[in-house]
Amino acid sequence: MRILKKIFIVLLAVSGITILLYGCTSNGGDLQKVGMLVENSVHDNAWSKQGYKGLLNINKEFDVEVFYKENIKTKQQVIEAVDELAKDGVNLIFGHSNTYGKYFVELAPSYPEIHFVYFNGGQFGEDVTSLNFNSHAMGFFAGMVAGKMTETGHVGVIGAFEWQPEIEGFYEGVKYQNPEVDVTIQYVNSWNDPKAAMKHYQKMRKNGADVFYPTGDLFSVKVLKKVSSDGLYGIGYVTDQSYIDNRAILTSTVQHVSKLYVRSAEKFNEGKLRGGVLTYDFQDEVISLSKFSPVVPEDFQEKMNDEIEQYKESALLPNER
């Protein structure tokens, strides 16, 4: 990674949206300037922070200017933001949510000089790429840990949405490890509703659940902090959340979003980024389980590490082999 020759920061207010510009020397490749749209703040939650980290890594790796725009939620806001970034010379735009897919597909023909990238969606175009995490397996392995560590025979999932593959995977993993364990699943129907998530948590706890997997950006930390204070177990989401309590947090299902930012920018810079739906998993080193809590038996930790390695080699989960 090269050292940046110069950095300057400019804050601009455009239609109530703050843009942060990092300026530096160009490396002369296809990549000129990079932009990112986020629905809330880049500091709101683990998912957004990972995207912001990826943007900064692009800045350092490729010596190009990067911009971000926060609170871009509606179609009109996306249209205005893309137009402003285009005028600034941006030719690679990341939308840090699946919400942006349909908007990018509509806008792309009007901006043939820009490639659009977003996450976890099925829509694409010639210059629109969707980056997807195959999160079923990470949920499965987390479920195995929960099935092993529950003492009450009851675990709980507090999901954001029903379509999340990690939730189905978690259920399968629990049942593979211990068919006798009850799995309660409740949905918040939002990534960012801690109040609703806590209501589900309290009800599950009252009904005897002692291991929890909260799969929502903004509410996972709040739930896991409560899990820790209540002397129960939890599994982190998106990032390594063992900092909350390295004993109570049994492991975390980690999506290395920032790596995909750099990888996509590299492909674009080399003229190799194509429109379509790209899927990534453990084999691509962008999904992993974090380190295990010391309360997880060492022989089981070794078993889990072995199971993950076998999955990387065969693409088959333990219940499929």
In a shared domain, residues 156 and 221: yes
Q: What is the mean pLDDT of residues 52-79?
A: 97
**pLDDT the model gives residue 45:** 83
The two three-digit tokens of residue 28, written as one number: 């002369």
Q: Do residue 153 and residue 249 come from a single domain?
A: yes
Tell me, what's the pLDDT at 25?
Answer: 34
**Residue pLDDT, tens place only, 26-48:** 333 599 999 999 999 999 888 99
Check which CATH number belongs to the domain holding 141 and give it.
3.40.50.2300
Backbone φ, ψ for residue 309 (5° rounding): -65, -40
| DSSP 8-state code for residue 15 | T
Identify whether residues 249 and 265 lie together within a single domain: no
For 124-154, give one letter per residue: b (16+ CB within 10 A) or e. bbebbbbbbbbbbbbbbbbbbbbbbbbeeeb
From residue 290, alpha-carbon distances to 194, 214, 304 in Å are 24, 16, 12
Shortest CA distance to 214 belongs to which of 252, 268, 263, 175? 252
Does residue 171 lie within any of the structural domains?
yes
Domain that holds residue 23: 8-133+257-284
User: Domains in the chain: how many in total?
Assistant: 2
As a whole number of angstroms, the distance between CA 72 and CA 178 comes to 44
> 154 and 141 in one domain?
yes
How many other CB atoms sit within 10 Å of the CB of residue 57?
17
The answer to whether residues 307 and 190 belong to one domain is yes
Pull the structure tokens for residue 116: 């659009």
Contacts of 49 (CB under 8 A, 6+ apart): 42, 43, 239
In terms of DSSP bridges, do strands 287-289 and 249-255 run parallel, antiparallel, or are they unpaired? Answer: antiparallel
How many other CB atoms are found less than 10 A from the CB of residue 245? 17
**Alpha-carbon distance 137 to 115, whole Å?**
30
42 within domain boundaries: yes
pLDDT at 269 over 80: yes
Q: Over the chain, what is the mean pLDDT?
A: 91
| DSSP class of 292 | P
Q: Is the confidence at residue 6, as pLDDT, over 80?
A: no
pLDDT band at 108; cut points 50, 70, 90: very high
Residues 178 and 38 grouped into a single domain:
no
What value does the mean pLDDT take over residues 247-274? 96
Those residues whose C-beta lies under 8 Å from the C-beta of residue 25, and which sit 6 or more positions away, are: 4, 5, 6, 63
Residue 244 and residue 290: Cα distance in Å, rounded?
A: 13
> Considering only CA atoms, which of 113, 68, 117, 66 is closest in space to residue 91?
113
Q: Is residue 26 within 8 Å of residue 5, measured between CB atoms?
A: no
pLDDT class of 3 with cuts at 50, 70, 90: very low
Give the tokens for residue 150: 């529950």
Task: Tell me what the mean pLDDT of segment 154-167 comes to.
Answer: 96
- Are 179 and 295 in the same domain? yes
Q: Which phi and psi angles does 242 have, rounded to 5°?
A: -65, -15
Residue 56 tokens read as 């900064």
In a domain, 1, yes or no: no
Average pLDDT over residues 142-152: 98
Residue 3 lies in a domain: no
- Calculate mean pLDDT across residues 5-30: 38
Same domain (yes/no): 270, 121: yes
Determine the Cα–Cα distance for residues 161 and 33; give it in Å rounded to an integer: 34
Residues 171 and 115 both lie in one domain = no
Same domain, 183 and 266: no
| pLDDT for the residue numbered 321 | 87
pLDDT band at 256 (very low <50, low <70, confident <90, very high): very high
For residues 157 and 297, membership in a common domain is answered with: yes
Q: Note whether residue 2 is domain-resident.
A: no
Residues 267 and 280 in one domain: yes
* Mean pLDDT along residues 275-297: 97
